[in-house]
Amino acid sequence: MENLLNELKQAEIGKVLENEPLAKYTTIKIGGPADILVQPKDIKAIEKTFEIIKKQGSSWRAIGRGSNLLVSDNGIEGVVIKLGDGLDQLEVEGETVRVGGGFSIVKLSTMLSKQGLSGLEFASGIPGSIGGAVYMNAGAHGSDMSKILVKSHVLFEDGTMEWLTADEMEYSYRTSVLQKKRPGICLEAVLKLKAGKREDITAEMLKNKDYRRETQPWNFPCAGSIFRNPLPEYAGQLVEKAGLKGHQIGGAQISEMHGNFIVNAGNATAKDVLDLIEFVKKTILEKYGVTMETEVEIIGRNH
């Protein structure tokens, strides 16, 4: 690990930190340390990072803005690549948008709405990066990334890079090919939007934003939706029907506002959250015979 750390530091790829607590980088404010955290300054720096990781035979993991993520209390082995500054380039040509994986999806949806471009209204209020949204097919209000993605520039775990079309991303509900079948990270994306009336787009976005503010607990650290909706049922409604809103284990609590959110009510650990998830799964299965699956990604050592 010492050799890997020294080589990464000497490569001038951006910030390189040792034993960095990941609670600082997740929206739920939970997570043990990364052995090494790299914040690359651009795509070339990411390529160089991967050259070194491969040469040293280290494991790696990429994160964006840390939403939809629960990191183990024991942290993450190897190198964590934090995509953000340096991967936030943006080009808009007519209705085509080329954007870096580290760009905030909320910021992008706001900027494009002001230019009269429609298609990203659903993202108003979704905390996270474009890279993360492409990776997990983020969506809300009846739409998602699969509806607007043209292609995605992907870095695979063997260090190769390739543009994948929307079809090649094999999108389904909150899932893409990058999660299990072909593990990789989205460095940039090309999106196709539609010209629309600025007032209509802005009104739609405000409506979506207000809905989130009124129904979801963004005033507490949280990771977003915890469970996938077991359609035709909705996860939040099942949790509420089971009388579990407000139920707490350690510092983790099922939100009083929305049954599909677990909030960090104060010094929660990943173990608290995982115990609460298991409790919900068991209760819902016993009461309604429905198997709940997590939407939040759970990563790290011995989670």
Beta strands at 60-63 and 76-82: parallel, antiparallel or unpaired: parallel
Nearest one of 127, 102, 83 to 261, comparing CA atoms? 127
Three-state secondary structure call for residue 81: strand
Q: How far is CA 292 from CA 227, 230, 238, 288, in A?
A: 7, 7, 10, 11
Single-letter code of the amino acid located at 230: P
Burial track 201-223 (b if 16+ CB lie within 10 A, e otherwise): bbebbeebbeebeeebbbebbbb
Beta bridge partners of 14: 40
Please tell me which residue in 109, 146, 225, 255 is annotated as part of the active site.
225
Q: How far is CA 141 from CA 38, 138, 204, in A?
A: 34, 11, 10
Q: Give bridge partners of residue 80 from the DSSP assignment.
A: 37, 61
Assign 3-class secondary structure to 180-233: CCCCEEEEEEEEECEECCHHHHHHHHHHHHHHHHHHCCCCCCEEEECECCCCCC
Check 174, 176, 188, 255 and give the catalytic one.
Answer: 174
295 is catalytic: yes
CA 89, 190, 25, 254 torsion: positive or negative?
positive
Whether cis (ω within 30° of 0) applies to the bond prior to 232 is yes
Which residues belong to the active site?
174, 225, 295
